[in-house]
Chains A and B, each alone.
Chain A
Amino acid sequence: MAKQKTTSTKDKLSTKSVITWCPGCPNHMILEAAKRVFAKLIDEKKVKQEDIAIVTGIGCHAKIFDYINTSGFYGLHGRVVPTALGIKLGNPNLTVVGFEGDGDAYAEGMEHFVHAGRFNANITLIVHDNQAFALTTGQATPTTQQGYKNKVEPSGQHNLPINPVKIALASGASFVARTYALNLEHMTKTIEAAIKHKGFSYVEVIQPCLQFNKEMDEIRKLTYEIPDNKDDMDKAMKIASEWDYNTKTGKIPIGIIYQIEKPTLEDNWQQLSELMKKKVGWKRK
């Protein structure tokens, strides 16, 4: 019996581009989660497909740009946050979601990352943190563990990694969450909550790189789900401090680490509030 063919919303979110990530790369899972969330939001009529705009940096993560059928800006390495903020300035009614690598977000783009919470534009930033520059063949990023040997540092990485979650908390992000790329269900629900949050939402996705930083794959058994934390900053800092991005023992909490309501960029600027009220961008004003 022939199967009846219907086009689901998720199918409509696919493109014809050939996926060129390594076989088994957790980026496939992040793509799946993003498409599931977008499809759900569209099906629930929370957003129209043409109202979604994605932004990517440069690196393995950024290939996601070609695989999702929404509007988008394949930007520069490290500049996802200002590009996404700019799209919001151009039309505050768009749902803007940035995908960025750990090299992008925490090395080249740290100067933007720490300001995103201050402006608190209603945008979402999803960082694919595989603790390595993968597309340039495995150099260390700011979250790479000490001792990691690579072609640039044959004797191993000397520095301790930064903790981006603590940086996000300290710099005023109004939604901070961590998830794990191989836990599809958790990742999907976290990304959905991030997009639904009003303000700057940051989702740190721990994502093993099976090609280069293989040793960090050991941490997959360490993750555990925490109940959502709201606006308790001390507790959030404690949760964020449970794992230092360096050790391969102990526990790695995943879930919503911090969430607070505060005025957004769009609330603070009358010009943007008016565009939102009229449900238009500058073009149709």
Chain B
Amino acid sequence: MRLNILIGGQAGQGINAVSGIVSAVLCSQGYFTFNYRDYPSLIRGGHNFNILSISEEKIGSHESKLDGIVAMDDKTVEIHKKELGKGGVVIDFKGFEALGRNLNIALAGALIRVLGIEKQVLIEAVKKQFNTPEALDAAEKGFNSQNKKFELKKLDNRLSIMTGSAAVAQGAINSGINLYLGYPMTPSTPLLQELAGQQEKYGFMVFQPENEIAVINAGLGASFAGAKVMVGSSGGGFDLMTEAMSLQGQSEVPLVVYLASRPGPGTGLPTSTSQSDLNLALRAGHGEFPRIVVAPGDPIEAIEKTNEAFYLSEKFGCLSIILSDKHLAEGEFSFATQPNKPIKVEVKRKVPGEAIVKASSYEHDEAGNTVETAEITKKNADNRIKKYQQIKKEVSKFEMIKIHGNPKSKNLLVGWGSTKGAILDAIRGLDYKFLQVLYMKPLSNEIKKELQGANKVILIENNLTGQLGRLIREKTGISIKNKILKYDGRPFLSDELKKEILKIK
């Protein structure tokens, strides 16, 4: 069983509350959900929609054919009716106008009824989130307005729902973060706000300086003074940080950077998704210095890989970049499994206050003072390469790649990051193996073996040029000929992706 329900309306009408209530109810009933958010860059008006995908099995994507539309305005049905499948349901806002801002709760109630879930479960969920007489009345009115169309019986799954942003925050908290610095920019803002909301509870600090250049330089200053620091941004904001990433390479002050991608170039599409910043993460900053780039594909991986990024950055005094995108950052995933136990992140180095410690952007001697000799320049450069060898060794203890689907299949799909959900949903029941690359730098040696062992290889990326494909070619000499690339600012839909995969013989 799989259902896809679109909830649409104007910005500010509260469509996220509809999907939020319904997801919470479905989660309590043991159903997996994935909620996709699609919205333009405006605060009031326009057309926003969520697509809530529902299944008895784990899912991580949505599909193109709709089973229902919940319309909070006239435009929604007009725009989306062609996507509605045969026998699809439309739940309209008309008739609920008198409820004012509680319209969203009434429509959530109506949808719960259509899905065939008990009224009591709805009432409890609304009580938990809103608990006003008006909200409860709206839920009741909505529920009573519809007939049951589906029969979603309670299942045994114990599930949680999380966005990728909340998961990165969790990973940072598990690592004992002391300071997060950021400047608002979609889609990295959700992490900034998520951590800001949790700072008091966990006793760390979140600070918003004047711009991204201040963010990262202050981040390095704080880390130098002994704090565990993460900074974050997107697109252009990350670009502004690149000079200081190079400073990290010279000063060797530990730093974790979160990059949530959106389509560029330029301002691009601020609220859409893209995997076009892999090259940027791999190469940002002048000069030659080691770094780690890790790209989680779902919230569980985001929790674990963020923790690894902190651990590695502190252990080696290196730059760890966590690469995400709008789809992972703002997608709402449900899952039944728990992340691995966190690795302890300890600051063992001497810091100011304990000893005289110098960090420098200049080539320097062991005490930190400037040296411009050929000998020390070469020695320091050699040490940077040696450090990267050590990093590679340490990273090999972690999951650098994952194999999904049929492990014996000769048909191999290669992808990374937020496309994971759609790829897994697309190949369910098919004879395909999916190689998910988690560490983009260092890159696993296993990738070459997997490519050599396959008969058919398809690269799947949410960008124009197949950046992982080029990285793999650079490291292995193998060029992946078959490519499924999507670069319209939207994520893959699993049913459409499945068709694309099956087209390639």
- Say which one of A23-31, A49-57, A250-258 lies at the interface with B: A49-57
What residue in chain A is nearest B356 (Cβ atoms)?
Answer: A71
How many angstroms from the CA of A84 to the CA of B370 in the assembled complex? 20
What residue in chain A is nearest B218 (Cβ atoms)?
Answer: A86
Partner of B353, one of A50, A55, A58, A82: A50
Q: Does B329 contact A (CB under 8 A)?
A: no
Query: Across the interface, which residues of B come within 8 angstroms of A52, CB to CB?
Result: 352
How many angstroms from the CA of A78 to the CA of B312 in the assembled complex? 29
Q: Is the interface of B mostly helix, strand, loop or mixed?
A: mixed
Q: Does A218 contact B (CB under 8 A)?
A: no
B251 A282 Cβ-Cβ under 8 A = no
B223 A90 Cβ-Cβ under 8 A = yes
Q: Does A73 contact B (CB under 8 A)?
A: yes
Q: Does B220 contact A (CB under 8 A)?
A: yes
Q: Does B357 contact A (CB under 8 A)?
A: yes
Query: Across the interface, which residues of A come within 8 angstroms of B211, CB to CB?
Result: 111
Partner of B369, one of A15, A73, A83, A282: A15
B209 A85 Cβ-Cβ under 8 A = yes
Query: Across the interface, which residues of A come within 8 angstroms of B360, CB to CB?
Result: 65, 73-74
Query: Across the interface, which residues of B come within 8 angstroms of A74, CB to CB?
Result: 358-362, 364, 368, 370
Given A53-B352, A93-B353, A111-B210, check contact A86 B370 (CB 8 Å).
no
Query: Across the interface, which residues of B come within 8 angstroms of A165, CB to CB?
Result: none
Partner of A89, one of B218, B352, B369: B218
Query: Across the interface, which residues of B come within 8 angstroms of A88, CB to CB?
Result: 221, 225
How many angstroms from the CA of A79 to the CA of B225 in the assembled complex? 16
| Chain A: minimal CB distance from B364 (Å) | 8
Partner of A271, one of B199, B217, B223, B244: B199
Query: Across the interface, which residues of A come within 8 angstroms of B222, CB to CB?
Result: 86-87, 89-90, 282
Partner of A71, one of B228, B347, B357: B357
A90 B370 Cβ-Cβ under 8 A = no
Q: Does A66 contact B (CB under 8 A)?
A: yes
Given A76-B244, A87-B224, check contact A49 B213 (CB 8 Å).
no
Query: Across the interface, which residues of B come within 8 angstroms of A69, CB to CB?
Result: 356
B369 A281 Cβ-Cβ under 8 A = no
Q: Does B79 contact A (CB under 8 A)?
A: no
| Chain B: minimal CB distance from A62 (Å) | 9
Query: Across the interface, which residues of B come within 8 angstroms of A50, CB to CB?
Result: 352-356
Query: Across the interface, which residues of B come within 8 angstroms of A63, CB to CB?
Result: 370
Q: Does B388 contact A (CB under 8 A)?
A: no
Q: Does B351 contact A (CB under 8 A)?
A: yes
Partner of A281, one of B207, B227, B358, B362: B227
Given A66-B370, A71-B358, A74-B359, check contact A282 B221 (CB 8 Å).
no
Given A15-B369, A91-B352, A111-B213, check contact A76 B243 (CB 8 Å).
yes
Given A73-B220, A82-B217, check contact A90 B225 (CB 8 Å).
yes
Partner of A51, one of B181, B207, B223, B353: B353
A271 B220 Cβ-Cβ under 8 A = no
Given A71-B357, A73-B251, check contact A281 B225 (CB 8 Å).
yes
Q: Does A248 contact B (CB under 8 A)?
A: no
Query: Across the interface, which residues of B come within 8 angstroms of A65, CB to CB?
Result: 358, 360, 369-370
Taking beta carbons and an 8 Å cutoff, which residues of A are in contact with B? 15, 17, 49-53, 55, 58, 63, 65-66, 69-76, 79, 81-91, 93-94, 111-112, 115, 119, 269, 271-272, 281-285
Q: Give 9 new A-B contacts, CB below 8 A, not counting A76-B361, A91-B225.
A: A17-B369, A71-B353, A74-B359, A74-B360, A79-B213, A86-B224, A90-B225, A91-B353, A283-B347
Top 10 closest pairs, chain A to chain B, by CB? A86-B221, A90-B225, A86-B218, A283-B226, A90-B222, A71-B352, A82-B214, A74-B360, A282-B178, A282-B227
Taking beta carbons and an 8 Å cutoff, which residues of B are in contact with A? 178-179, 181, 199, 203-205, 207, 209-211, 213-215, 217-229, 243-244, 247, 251, 347, 351-362, 364, 367-370
